[in-house]
Amino acid sequence: MSNGPFILNLDCDHYVHNLAALREGMCFMLDRGGDRICFVQFLQRFEGIDPNDRYANHNLVFFDVSMHAMDGL
């Protein structure tokens, strides 16, 4: 439990590639209308997958199409 206004949740095998990612995520919360936002999710990329991505680990349709289409809704 935390009494902080924000919580960052990462899996044990995840790390942040972009130093500005946390600031970019916070912009959603601190922007006008941010009081209506309760959850921000960043895309997830996997390392060491096979070149053909046979298990769809990149989730290209979800992150690169669906989520961009819903941006701002």
pTM of the model: 0.48
My answer on whether 23 and 38 are in the same domain is yes
Q: Could you list the residue range(s) of the whole structural domain that residue 37 is in?
A: 7-42
User: What average pLDDT score do residues 51-60 get?
Assistant: 72
Using CA atoms, how far apart are residues 39 and 25, in angstroms rounded to an integer? 9
- 50 confidence band (pLDDT: 50, 70, 90): confident
- Contact predicate 28/40, CB 8 Å: yes
Q: Is residue 2 part of a domain?
A: no
pLDDT of residue 32: 83
- How far CA 71 is from CA of 9, 10, 13, 63, in Å, comes to 21, 22, 27, 11
38 lies in the same domain as 58: no
Query: Which pLDDT score, from 0 to 100, does residue 63 have?
Result: 73
Q: Is residue 1 in some structural domain?
A: no
- Domains identified in the chain, total number: 2
Please state, in angstroms and rounded to a whole number, the distance separating the CA atoms of residues 71 and 56: 22
pLDDT in tens, 16-46: 777 787 787 787 778 887 778 777 777 776 7
Q: For residue 30, what are the CA distances in angstroms to 1, 37, 40, 72?
A: 22, 9, 12, 15
